[in-house]
């Protein structure tokens, strides 16, 4: 019996399923190319050659920096000189990394030890002690200074002492680097004086928070505030001064309290004073990444179970809402079933590495594989790429994350596939990023154009992980398994936990009780084999009897890409029937008690169907509320209007209620609108400007449109055939600033194609209204009602007669 064949249900559901099925198809296509290429084993000889090539890469970049840039923070590889804060032309917020404290050298010290170059390490440490100072009137990023500088100094200090003991060298060293990191730590501490304990994003190295420029400081990102503990705990335990660790734990505790209690997810940007979320997008990439990493690694380094408990809660939430097959797509923390972006950023490439460390190998392999395909498709992994693997933002600053994950996957599996992947990454750097003076970032992977930029992480992470990948652990001077790699790949020894009692004592908190596994006796999280088995429990689906007791798959949790879910749904008596063209993924659901495995499961099936119906209604209401419209009259003299769907943006004012912006449409010249100005700037004044997606960010197009006086901006997609009918609408992201005051909307190609056809047909310029879709519908409805009333009034006398 078909208990629900309601068309509206199927229509609403279609969007979600089309999206999921479309993604599965795309991924399947992309992955299938790989299955035709068997992994070749790599000979020891080739591996050793690659290790030596990685070493050469290091020296090529390191020498270029030391000879042409030191004591600057960074090397500018194209102009072959140093980048200094306040001297080299400013790049805005990006320069908050720089503190005129020789960052690249400090960040690189421990790589020298891993390479076994004790002579250069000795020399470099002496230079740092002699030259580096922190008493500068400079505002720096707390996060970056911590991970690169404090982490770099601490790791170098630990290794210097290690070499004294094990390599009979550096006997002159008396802990100077530790003292320097303590001093720098103190200079960061004023940032922690907030009502929540969550640190400000930036601090003045000399004036603390007293710098007038920091008066208005209140927003920070989750990763910025949550990536302090490893370094600060090490600092406290090595110096015996508890203040650092106390402050970092407090920040972590405050962040934990801000998680969404329903979804267990975190947002991206928050207010450090009120603890309010400013951006609720939730993924594992930019803005959040290393917060999750530090929860897990704090547990590993410090042995405090509460961080594992927190990590597990977030991890489950990420795997439930953010993970879609091999992809990781941002959702809204408070509305986790709605995807908030249709693109992924390259920072999330660290996630498979973290999954390896936490023991969840299978999804790590899958996501890494997807990223590898993206890399092969575009030479490098672009800063952001869409769900159909097109470029969203084409820059590539030679980031380490993908190589880092490759390294951890190789260490965990021994699979030579990962050596081949590493080789590809290494050769790509050699071919496309190497310049005579170091390695240059790629400005756009489509053109391969270079940028005058070599971030310090190229030496401290990218090349370090390549070198480690091709090295045998026994050939290294230190046993890397006895260390935790910080997010900047600095080495902190596990033995730090043993220094814990003198400086910090852990409190047991209630949150432990919320975890099921904590309640078991003996606590299963302490049993190593259990941890190993746990990820494999669902590996072969259906091999163990599924008990239904108390656990019912809810429509909210259902994922069409999860084989277990499909089976559970089937057992509940629900069948899915494809309708129409299979490739469109349209599915109709039927429920029947007769088909259910048991009466109990049949009942569950009924509940599942009802939930689906509710969910669908909610989703379409939410989607409609966010949807924008570009409306126009069907012809010059008509009162009939039609609307084409458009997506909103995070950075422009929202048009709500009966607000709209009206104007003639005009195409930007040049169409991408990425230049300083427009050729038709005069003409664009007061008009609704159209710019094509690509070459620069959405927000920079918006700023240009605003600059020339346009009334609104429509960004049209550059992917032929894309349409809001077949893919989810999304909101365009900005850069955190709120200086765009004109409405900005996004149109997929098919919808824009219709608009463009009308523009060409009309003799006069086409006048459009940019407004909320829901308001357009209301407007239309009201108009229809008025027309009906007029018609019935007009007809009345006739009828009465
Ligand atoms: C590094 O500075 C760190 O890995 C950080 O956590 C995020 N990304 C950059 C490199 O991409």
Give the residue with greater pLDDT, 25 vs 781: 781
Torsion angle of the four alpha carbons 347, 348, 351, 352, in this order, in degrees rounded to the nearest 10: -100
Contact by Cβ (8 Å): 132, 100: no
CA distances to 670, 680, 702 from 708, rounded to whole Å, are: 13, 9, 10
Residue 223 DSSP code:
H
Query: What is the reported pLDDT for 793?
Result: 63
Give the residue with greater pLDDT, 500 vs 134: 134
Report the atom number in ligand 1 closest to the C-alpha of 397: 11
Q: What spacing in Å lies between the alpha carbon of 143 and ligand 1's midpoint? A: 10
Please state, in angstroms and rounded to a whole number, the distance separating the CA atoms of residues 357 and 346. 20
Please state, in angstroms and rounded to a whole number, the distance separating the CA atoms of residues 438 and 77. 5
Which of 350, 407, 439 has most ligand 1 atoms within 8 Å of CB, for mutation?
Answer: 350
Is the predicted pLDDT of residue 534 greater than 90, yes or no? no
Contact by Cβ (8 Å): 78, 426: no
Q: Mean pLDDT over all residues of the chain?
A: 86
Cβ partners under 8 Å of residue 213, min gap 6: 139, 204
Cβ partners under 8 Å of residue 753, min gap 6: none
Active site annotation includes 144: yes
Please state, in angstroms and rounded to a whole number, the distance separating the CA atoms of residues 582 and 18. 10
Contact by Cβ (8 Å): 325, 27: yes
Write down the catalytic residue from 401, 404, 452, 775: 401
Share of residues in the chain with pLDDT > 90 (%):
67
DSSP calls for 431-470: HHTEETTEE--EEETTTTEE-S-B-THIIIIIHHHHHHHT
Q: What is the CA radius of gyration of the chain?
A: 29
Query: What is the reported pLDDT for 595?
Result: 74
Q: What spacing in Å lies between the alpha carbon of 487 and ligand 1's midpoint? A: 6
Q: Tokens for 196?
A: 């929540």
Is domain 44-504 in CATH 1.50.10.10, yes or no? yes
Is the predicted pLDDT of residue 537 greater than 60, yes or no? no
Query: What is the reported pLDDT for 507?
Result: 41
**Dihedral of alpha carbons 221, 226, 230, 233, sign:** positive
Q: Is residue 777 classed exposed, middle or buried when 0-12, 13-18 and 19+ CB atoms within 10 A define those classes?
A: middle
Please state, in angstroms and rounded to a whole number, the distance separating the CA atoms of residues 640 and 69. 66
pLDDT band at 389 (very low <50, low <70, confident <90, very high): very high
Q: What spacing in Å lies between the alpha carbon of 23 and ligand 1's midpoint? A: 28
CA distances to 780, 781, 783, 787, 788 from 792, rounded to whole Å, are: 18, 16, 14, 9, 6
User: For the chain, how are helix, strand and coil distributed in percent, rounded to 5?
Assistant: 50, 15, 35
Q: Is 573 left (phi over 0), alpha (psi -120 to 50) or beta?
A: left
Report the atom number in ligand 1 closest to the C-alpha of 293: 6
Q: Is 332 left (phi over 0), alpha (psi -120 to 50) or beta?
A: beta
Q: Tokens for 798?
A: 């006739």
Contact by Cβ (8 Å): 675, 695: no
Which residue has the least CA distance to atom 6 on ligand 1? Answer: 487
Q: Tokens for 97?
A: 């990394």
Length of the chain, in residues:
801
Fold of 626-787: Glucose Oxidase; domain 1 (3.50.30)
Contact by Cβ (8 Å): 325, 24: yes
Is the predicted pLDDT of residue 32 greater than 50, yes or no? no
Q: What spacing in Å lies between the alpha carbon of 458 and ligand 1's midpoint? A: 10
For the range 405-408, what are the long-range contacts, defined as Cβ-Cβ under 8 Å and sequence gap of 24 or more? 405/349, 405/350, 405/351, 405/352, 405/353, 405/356, 405/364, 405/368, 405/371, 406/368, 406/465, 406/469, 407/353, 407/465, 407/468, 407/469, 408/352, 408/353, 408/356, 408/357, 408/364
Q: Tokens for 638?
A: 């008509």
- Closest to 712 (Cα-Cα) out of 799, 788, 760, 653: 653
- Range of 652-656, 737-741, 751-755 with top mean pLDDT: 751-755
Active site annotation includes 383: yes
Please state, in angstroms and rounded to a whole number, the distance separating the CA atoms of residues 61 and 458. 9
Q: Tokens for 438?
A: 């170091």
Contact by Cβ (8 Å): 124, 112: yes
Backbone angles phi, psi at 629, to 5 degrees: -135, 145
Q: What spacing in Å lies between the alpha carbon of 54 and ligand 1's midpoint? A: 20
**Ordered alpha helix ranges (H), 346-400:** 351-358, 361-378
Which of 103, 351, 399 has most ligand 1 atoms within 8 Å of CB, for mutation?
Answer: 399
Write down the catalytic residue from 73, 144, 452, 695: 144
Give the residue with greater pLDDT, 97 vs 505: 97
- Closest to 188 (Cα-Cα) out of 238, 138, 237: 138
Please state, in angstroms and rounded to a whole number, the distance separating the CA atoms of residues 45 and 34. 25
Is the predicted pLDDT of residue 527 greater than 50, yes or no? no
Query: What is the reported pLDDT for 596?
Result: 79
Is the predicted pLDDT of residue 584 greater than 60, yes or no? no
What is the average pLDDT across 304-323? 97
Write down the catalytic residue from 107, 289, 404, 455: 289
For 644, the enclosing helix (H) or strand (E) is strand 641-646
Which residue has the least CA distance to atom 1 on ligand 1? Answer: 488
Which residue has the least CA distance to atom 3 on ligand 1? Answer: 488
- Closest to 231 (Cα-Cα) out of 144, 161, 313, 356: 144
Report the atom number in ligand 1 closest to the C-alpha of 289: 6
Query: What is the reported pLDDT for 650?
Result: 85
Q: Tokens for 24?
A: 């599965």
Query: What is the reported pLDDT for 654?
Result: 80
Contact by Cβ (8 Å): 331, 322: yes
Please state, in angstroms and rounded to a whole number, the distance separating the CA atoms of residues 372 and 412. 18
Report the atom number in ligand 1 closest to the C-alpha of 489: 4
Start-to-end CA span in the chain (Å):
52
Write down the catalytic residue from 117, 383, 404, 717: 383
Query: What is the reported pLDDT for 592?
Result: 78
Mapped onto helix, strand or coil, the DSSP state of residue 551 is: coil
Is the predicted pLDDT of residue 535 greater than 60, yes or no? no
Query: What is the reported pLDDT for 214?
Result: 97
Query: What is the reported pLDDT for 792?
Result: 63
Classify each residue of 577-608 as buried b or exposed e, where b means 16 or more C-beta atoms within 10 Å of its C-beta: eeeeeeebbbbbbbbebebbbeeebbebbbeb
CA angle 268, 271, 276 (to 5 degrees): 80
Contact by Cβ (8 Å): 467, 459: no
Which of 289, 383, 488, 490 has most ligand 1 atoms within 8 Å of CB, for mutation?
Answer: 488
How many CB atoms within 10 Å of residue 138?
20
What is the average pLDDT across 239-262? 97
pLDDT band at 611 (very low <50, low <70, confident <90, very high): confident
Query: What is the reported pLDDT for 733?
Result: 81
DSSP calls for 242-296: THHHHHHHHHHHHHHHTS-TTT----SEEETTT--EEE-EE-SSTTTHHHHHHHH
Is the predicted pLDDT of residue 618 greater than 80, yes or no? no
Backbone angles phi, psi at 217, to 5 degrees: -60, 125
Which residue has the least CA distance to atom 10 on ligand 1? Answer: 399
- Closest to 403 (Cα-Cα) out of 451, 371, 377: 371
Backbone angles phi, psi at 128, to 5 degrees: -60, -45
Please state, in angstroms and rounded to a whole number, the distance separating the CA atoms of residues 136 and 73. 14
Query: What is the reported pLDDT for 368?
Result: 96
Query: What is the reported pLDDT for 623?
Result: 62
Strand partners, 645: 629
Active site annotation includes 74: no
How many CB atoms within 10 Å of residue 206?
14
- Upper half-sphere CA count for residue 146 (Cβ side, 13 Å): 33
Cβ partners under 8 Å of residue 720, min gap 6: 749
Query: What is the reported pLDDT for 723?
Result: 86
CA angle 534, 540, 543 (to 5 degrees): 100
- Closest to 602 (Cα-Cα) out of 570, 573, 642, 559: 573
Please state, in angstroms and rounded to a whole number, the distance separating the CA atoms of residues 617 and 607. 16
What is the average pLDDT across 114-130? 98
Which residue has the least CA distance to atom 11 on ligand 1? Answer: 399
Please state, in angstroms and rounded to a whole number, the distance separating the CA atoms of residues 22 and 339. 15
Please state, in angstroms and rounded to a whole number, the distance separating the CA atoms of residues 129 and 124. 9
Q: According to the annotation, is 406 in a ligand binding site? A: no
Query: What is the reported pLDDT for 506?
Result: 39
Q: What spacing in Å lies between the alpha carbon of 81 and ligand 1's midpoint? A: 23
For 767, the enclosing helix (H) or strand (E) is strand 767-772
Ligand 1 binding residues, C-beta < 6 A: 147, 290, 347, 399-401, 457, 461, 487-488
Q: Quick: pLDDT tens for 268-286.
A: 999 999 999 999 999 999 9
pLDDT band at 471 (very low <50, low <70, confident <90, very high): very high
Is the predicted pLDDT of residue 502 greater than 70, yes or no? no
| Domain boundaries defined on the chain | 44-504, 563-616, 626-787
Give the residue with greater pLDDT, 739 vs 471: 471
pLDDT band at 607 (very low <50, low <70, confident <90, very high): confident
Contact by Cβ (8 Å): 484, 428: no
Contact by Cβ (8 Å): 139, 202: yes
Is the predicted pLDDT of residue 8 greater than 90, yes or no? no
DSSP calls for 476-488: SSS-GGGEEE-TT
CA angle 115, 121, 127 (to 5 degrees): 150
Is the predicted pLDDT of residue 10 greater than 50, yes or no? no
Q: What spacing in Å lies between the alpha carbon of 457 and ligand 1's midpoint? A: 7
Mapped onto helix, strand or coil, the DSSP state of residue 55 is: helix
Query: What is the reported pLDDT for 532?
Result: 31
Report the atom number in ligand 1 closest to the C-alpha of 399: 11
Query: What is the reported pLDDT for 795?
Result: 55
For 344, the enclosing helix (H) or strand (E) is strand 343-345
pLDDT band at 68 (very low <50, low <70, confident <90, very high): very high
Give the residue with greater pLDDT, 282 vs 649: 282
Q: What spacing in Å lies between the alpha carbon of 424 and ligand 1's midpoint? A: 21
């Amino acid at each position: 019996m078909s208990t629900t064949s309601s068309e509206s249900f199927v229509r609403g559901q279609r969007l979600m399923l089309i999206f999921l099925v479309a993604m599965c198809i795309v991924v399947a296509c992309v992955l299938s190319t790989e299955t035709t290429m068997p992994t070749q084993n790599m000979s020891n000889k080739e591996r050793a050659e690659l290790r030596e090539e990685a070493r050469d890469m290091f020296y090529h970049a390191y020498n270029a920096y030391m000879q042409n840039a030191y004591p600057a923070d960074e090397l500018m590889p194209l102009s072959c000189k140093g980048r200094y804060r306040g001297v080299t032309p400013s790049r805005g917020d990006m320069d908050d990394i720089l503190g005129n404290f020789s960052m690249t050298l400090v960040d690189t010290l421990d790589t020298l030890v891993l390479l076994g170059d004790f002579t250069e390490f000795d020399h470099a440490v002496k230079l740092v002690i002699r030259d580096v100072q922190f008493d500068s009137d400079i505002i720096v990023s707390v996060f970056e200074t911590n991970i690169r500088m404090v982490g770099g100094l601490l790791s170098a200090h630990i290794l210097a002492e290690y070499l004294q003991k094990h390599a009979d060298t550096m006997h002159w060293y008396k802990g100077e680097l530790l003292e320097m990191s303590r001093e720098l730590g103190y200079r960061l501490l004023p940032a922690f004086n907030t009502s929540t304990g969550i640190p400000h994003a930036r601090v003045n190295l000399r004036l603390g928070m007293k710098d007038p420029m920091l008066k208005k400081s209140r927003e920070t990102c989750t990763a910025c505030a949550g990536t302090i503990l490893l370094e600060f705990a090490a600092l406290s335990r090595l110096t015996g001064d508890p203040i650092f660790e106390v402050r970092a734990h407090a920040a972590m505790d405050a962040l934990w309290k801000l998680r969404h209690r329903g979804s267990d997810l975190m947002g991206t940007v928050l207010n450090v004073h009120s603890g309010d979320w400013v951006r609720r997008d939730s993924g594992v990439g930019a803005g959040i990444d290393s917060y999750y990493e530090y929860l897990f690694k704090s547990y590993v380094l410090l042995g405090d179970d509460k961080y594992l408990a927190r990590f597990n809660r977030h991890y489950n939430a990420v795997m439930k809402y953010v993970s879609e097959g091999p992809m990781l797509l941002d959702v809204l923390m408070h509305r986790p079933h709605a995807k908030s972006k249709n693109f992924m950023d390259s920072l999330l490439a660290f996630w498979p590495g973290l999954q390896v460390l936490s023991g969840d190998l299978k999804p790590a392999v899958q996501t890494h594989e997807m990223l590898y395909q993206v890399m092969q498709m575009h030479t490098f992994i672009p800063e952001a790429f869409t769900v159909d693997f097109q470029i969203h933002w084409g820059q590539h600053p030679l980031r380490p994350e993908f190589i880092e994950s490759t390294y951890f996957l190789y260490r965990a599996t021994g699979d030579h596939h990962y050596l081949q992947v590493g080789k590809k990454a290494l050769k790509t750097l050699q071919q496309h990023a190497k310049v005579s003076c170091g390695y240059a970032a790629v400005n756009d992977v489509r053109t391969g154009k270079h940028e005058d930029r070599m971030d310090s992480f190229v030496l401290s992470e990218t090349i370090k992980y390549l070198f480690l990948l091709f090295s045998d652990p026994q050939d290294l001077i230190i046993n890397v398994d006895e260390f935790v790699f910080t997010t900047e790949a600095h080495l902190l020894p596990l033995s730090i936990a043993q220094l814990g009692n003198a400086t910090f004592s852990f409190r047991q908190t209630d949150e432990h009780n919320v975890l099921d596994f904590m309640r078991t006796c003996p606590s299963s999280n302490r049993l190593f084999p259990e941890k190993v088995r746990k990820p494999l429990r669902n590996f072969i689906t259906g091999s163990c009897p599924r008990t239904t007791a108390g656990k019912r798959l809810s429509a909210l949790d259902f994922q069409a890409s999860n084989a277990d879910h499909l089976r559970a749904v089937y057992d509940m008596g629900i069948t899915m029937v494809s309708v129409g063209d299979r490739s469109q993924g349209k599915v109709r659901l039927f429920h029947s008690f007769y088909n259910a495995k048991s009466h109990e499961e049949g009942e569950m099936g009924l509940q599942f169907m009802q939930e689906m119906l509710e969910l669908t209604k909610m989703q379409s209401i939410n989607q409609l509320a966010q949807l924008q419209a570009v409306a126009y009259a069907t012809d010059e003299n008509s009162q009939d209007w039609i609307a084409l769907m458009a997506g909103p943006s995070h950075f422009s004012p929202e048009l709500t209620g009966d607000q709209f912006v009206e104007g003639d449409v005009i195409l930007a010249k040049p169409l991408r609108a990425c230049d300083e100005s427009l050729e038709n700037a005069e003409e664009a004044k007061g008009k609704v400007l159209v710019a094509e997606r690509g070459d620069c960010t959405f927000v920079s197009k918006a700023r240009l449109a605003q600059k020339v006086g346009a009334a609104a901006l429509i960004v049209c997609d550059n992917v032929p055939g894309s349409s809001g009918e077949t893919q989810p609408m999304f909101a365009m992201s900005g850069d955190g600033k709120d200086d765009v005051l004109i409405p900005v909307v996004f149109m997929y190609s098919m919808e824009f194609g219709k608009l463009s056809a009308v523009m060409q047909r009309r003799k006069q310029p086409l006048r459009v209204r940019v407004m909320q879709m829901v308001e357009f519908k209301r407007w239309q409805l009201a108009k229809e009602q008025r027309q009906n009333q007029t018609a019935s009034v007009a007809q009345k006398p006739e009828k009465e007669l």
